[in-house]
Each structure stands twice: as structure tokens, then as C-alpha cells.
Copies of this chain bind each other. A is one copy, B any other.
Amino acid sequence: MKRPTLAVVAARAGVSKSSVSRVINGETTVAPEIRDVVMQAVQELGYVPNAAARNLVTRRTDAVAVVVSDPPKGVVSDDPLFSTVVRTVSRELEAVGRRVVLILAESDESRARVERYVAGGHVDGVMLVALHGADPLPVALARMGLPVASFNRTAATDVPYVALDNAGGAELAVRHLLDRGRRRIATITGPLDLYESRERLEGYRAALRGTGRRSIVALGDFTRVSGAEAMRQLLEDDPDLDAVFAANDLMAIGALRALHQAGRRVPDDVAVVGFDDIEAAAYTTPALTSVRSSMADQATATVRLLLALIEGGPRKPVIMPNELVVRESS
């Protein structure tokens, strides 16, 4: 049960601890015969270096904290974003030999815990997924001196981030609806304390500007339920609308359901376009047209950014491009 230590391996191999350490860490200034005899001792004893002891002296952990900061029923927590981001990040870090410590910061208490944890030197860097604009965590973490990269724009302007071209993507969607000859185009926004939501709304407005069409806005909160509700509201307020741009796919899915229940045909009566192009978008009835933003690419870019920061790289934001995926709903 008791694991062998460096000293045991050294004794077995008949060399010094230093030499074993060199071999273990792949240093090149070791004679081949020493290397071989050490390797064999390592094999025979099933030696695995003790992580804590190594961390203690090197001050590095090869671990990265991925902090998902969001209330329990918040935006990030929703399936597609969460699992795509977490999975991609995990894969990407695994590839460079780093571990992922996943932390859900869903309350002020757990946010405080995160700060203490990070201060405790458990990790070499932090990747932050905090969609809520007013989240205090980015600012707090930025102050700690540890490398921090954010999956999206935050209120902490000194935290390097990766962001989508949200306005551009929304414009793409609305222009597409205009091209299809739609005349009364509404939008369902996300919560307006999020940059994403504001920028997507801005893009919607920009596309409509100069076309003589007025904007019709309903507020959602990025959940399916809110999408359905906003859609019902819109139909009530403006029964003649013939297109909707939802600021994310989940709300678009909710909207599709509300339209179905209201007896409107999609896309014949009302065209629907979403944003994010989550996997489920291809499986709605009818299949959903959406702005493809590739969260996976965004997540990958964030990991790269963080790794670069850990290596002492520059603190430059990254903006990701979008494209429109046209399916049956428009």
C-alpha cells in the first residue's frame, strides 16, 4: 500500500536521489546507463512521484481551475454550453498534460471559496466562464496575480477574454430574414445585463436600420421557458409578425413550441432564427436555422489564451467569427 519514494528508487538503482530526479524529469545530462538502471528500478517498484512534494518545491501544479460562475438556474448552466465548454476545455488541457479542477461558483459563499482556493496555490491559472456581467469574481481573481482567461467578455476589463462577434452574428441572421422577404421581424433578447445579449440586440437593430422596418423586442433570459413566453407575448402584441430572431437556440426552441401551440406554421407563417447552433438545433421540428458560433472553438481559443498567459504571453482579447446555418425554420 505504501508507495515507494525517490530515495527507495535511488537505493535500488544504486545511484543518488538527484540522478533519479533527473531521469524522472527527463533531463538530458544523464548518462544512458544511469538512465536505464533508474528506469528499470522505477518499473520494478511501480514508482510514481508524489505530487504534493513536487508541487511544494516547484510551486507549479500543472492544474488549471475552470470556474463556472453562475446562479444555479443561470445561463451557463444550461446543457449545451456547459457540456461543450467543459468537455472541450478538458480535452484541450489533457492534451498538454494539465488537469482540470472544475468549480461551480453558484453562490457568494462558493465564490469566496474559489478565491481562497486559488490563493492556496492549488492551480497555475484560472479559466473563467462567467456570463453574468455584474459577476464580481473576474475582478477578484484578476487581483490575485494568477493568470486568468475568460471564456467571454466580463466587467473586469483587465481580464483577457475570448468573445464572439455577437453583433455581427445577429446582423447576419436578420439580413437573412430580410433577404427571405420578411417584413415584420421581432427579436427575443437574452438578459440585458450580459454583453452577449446587448451586442446581439445591437446587431439586430443595426440590420434593421435604414430598411424602414421597426424593431419589435421581447425580453428573455436564454432559457427555453422564457423563449416560449416571449413568443406568446410577441404574438399577442403584434399578430402580424412574420419572423423572429431569438438571441439563442434554447429560446428559439421555446419559441417554436409556442408558435406550434398558437397554430402558426414555421416557416410559412413565421420564420425563426436562433443563435449558437447547438446540437439540438438540427433536431427541432422544423429544424432550426441558427448562427453558428462554435462554442467549442471559443473554448479552445480560451484555453490557448490561458496557456499563453501562464507562459508569460501578452494579454490580448480574441474575437471569434460566425456563420449562418440555414435549415428549415426560415
Determine if A101 and B104 form an interchain contact, defined as CB atoms under 8 angstroms apart.
Answer: no
Q: Is A187 positioned at the interface, with any CB of B under 8 Å from its CB?
A: no
- In the complex, which residue of chain B has the Cβ closest to the Cβ of A91? B104
Q: Is A168 positioned at the interface, with any CB of B under 8 Å from its CB?
A: no
CB proximity to B under 8 Å, residues A37-89? 46, 48-53, 55-56, 61, 63, 66, 77, 79-80, 82-84, 86-87
Q: Is A119 positioned at the interface, with any CB of B under 8 Å from its CB?
A: yes
Instruction: Give the contacting residue for A48; candidates B83, B87, B120, B280; CB below 8 A.
Output: B120
Q: Is A106 positioned at the interface, with any CB of B under 8 Å from its CB?
A: yes
Copies held by the complex: 2
Determine if B87 and A77 form an interchain contact, defined as CB atoms under 8 angstroms apart.
Answer: yes
Q: Is A327 positioned at the interface, with any CB of B under 8 Å from its CB?
A: no
Chain B residues near A191 (CB-CB < 8 A): none
Determine if B90 and A121 form an interchain contact, defined as CB atoms under 8 angstroms apart.
Answer: no
Determine if A94 and B104 form an interchain contact, defined as CB atoms under 8 angstroms apart.
Answer: yes
Within the complex, what minimum Cβ distance (angstroms) separates A48 from chain B?
4
Chain B residues near A218 (CB-CB < 8 A): none
- In the complex, which residue of chain B has the Cβ closest to the Cβ of A59? B52
Instruction: Give the contacting residue for A102; candidates B1, B102, B253; CB below 8 A.
Output: B102
Determine if A283 and B253 form an interchain contact, defined as CB atoms under 8 angstroms apart.
Answer: yes
Determine if A101 and B103 form an interchain contact, defined as CB atoms under 8 angstroms apart.
Answer: no
Within the complex, what minimum Cβ distance (angstroms) separates A92 from chain B?
10
Within the complex, what minimum Cβ distance (angstroms) separates A63 from chain B?
7
A103 to B66 Cα, complex, angstroms: 12
Given contacts A90-B102, A104-B90, A104-B91, are A3 and B61 in contact (CB under 8 A)?
A: no
Q: Is A18 positioned at the interface, with any CB of B under 8 Å from its CB?
A: no
- In the complex, which residue of chain B has the Cβ closest to the Cβ of A117? B99
Chain B residues near A63 (CB-CB < 8 A): 101
Interface centre among A80, A102, A145 (most CB of B within 10 A): A102
Chain B residues near A117 (CB-CB < 8 A): 99
Determine if B119 and A48 form an interchain contact, defined as CB atoms under 8 angstroms apart.
Answer: yes
Determine if B283 and A254 form an interchain contact, defined as CB atoms under 8 angstroms apart.
Answer: yes
- In the complex, which residue of chain B has the Cβ closest to the Cβ of A113? B94
Given contacts A104-B90, A283-B224, A283-B253, are A49 and B120 in contact (CB under 8 A)?
A: yes
CB proximity to B under 8 Å, residues A244-291? 253-254, 256-257, 260, 279-280, 283-285
Q: Is A215 positioned at the interface, with any CB of B under 8 Å from its CB?
A: no
- In the complex, which residue of chain B has the Cβ closest to the Cβ of A279? B79
Within the complex, what minimum Cβ distance (angstroms) separates A97 from chain B?
8
Interface centre among A50, A91, A224 (most CB of B within 10 A): A50
Chain B residues near A256 (CB-CB < 8 A): 285
Given contacts A1-B145, A79-B83, A99-B101, are A56 and B50 in contact (CB under 8 A)?
A: yes
Q: Is A100 positioned at the interface, with any CB of B under 8 Å from its CB?
A: yes
A119 to B3 Cα, complex, angstroms: 9
A103 to B80 Cα, complex, angstroms: 19
9 CB contacts below 8 A, A to B, read A48-B121, A51-B52, A55-B55, A63-B101, A66-B102, A87-B104, A101-B101, A260-B285, A284-B285
The 9 A-B residue pairs with the shortest CB-CB distance, nearest first, are: A52-B55, A83-B83, A52-B56, A48-B119, A102-B102, A51-B120, A82-B83, A79-B79, A90-B104
